[in-house]
Amino acid sequence: MMKIFKSTLLTFLVLVSLLNSHQLIDIKKANPTIIIDLRYATTQNFTGKKIYTKNICYVQQDIVPLLDSIQKELNQQGLGLKIWDAYRPKEAQQAFWDIVHDEHYVSHPTKGRRVHLRGVAIDVTLIDLKTGKELLMPTEFDNFSLKAHANSLTGINQEAINNRKKLQHIMIKHGFKPVTTEWWHFDKINWQKYPILDIKFEELD
């Protein structure tokens, strides 16, 4: 009986260790050329409230070299990345779910994919390096209309469609997959292998 107890306890401790372990990296420290505009650290988002306590954007360590490659290729075209969101604490996900009960746009905080909670989802757009302005896209960030869908064409001008294609092409090329309902949202391929985290921003360096 004691052996079974010890074995069970060891298994539990290993699982807890895996759940609490992470390799979250501050994107700005890893690559200062990438623009960070963390919308949920401001009131400029669909909630109208400041949800995040820090204006620091974190991703899993494996994401960093992918973003480096994307940024380098974009810079050669006079363009760059602007990131709106990446790792998201569970308490923030709960706050979003309390407002939008629709898994097409917001993951349930305790079930489903929860890719932002894993630190392997990126909400991103493109900017012109000369002007610093965002390229025209089909909608603004956090738009829940059909126009925001990754392949939507109705009511969208050609320039916005072309810019969206450019973003999708380079993200897919470097290991990301677009989400159907949000043109700005991309998940790292094989996101399933990363654990769901529950780490507050205050607990991150």
65 located within any domain? yes
71 located within any domain? yes
pLDDT at 93: 79
The yes-or-no answer on residue 202 being catalytic is: no
10 located within any domain? no
pLDDT at 5: 47
- Closest Cα partner for 82 from 37, 44, 39? 37
196 within 8 A of 108, measured Cβ to Cβ: no
Which residue in the list 73, 91, 159, 182 is annotated as catalytic?
182
Q: Name the token pair of 86.
A: 């990446």
27 located within any domain? yes
pLDDT at 162: 98
156 located within any domain? yes
121 located within any domain? yes
pLDDT at 101: 53
Number of structural domains the chain divides into: 1
Contacts of 54 (CB under 8 A, 6+ apart): 41, 201, 202, 204
Collect the ranges in the chain with pLDDT lower than 50.
5-6, 9-20
Here the CATH number for the domain that contains residue 157 is: 3.30.1380.10
DSSP letters spanning 136-182: P-SS-TT--SGGGSTT--TT--HHHHHHHHHHHHHHHHTTEEEETTE
Domain that holds residue 104: 23-203
Q: Position 163: which residue type?
A: N
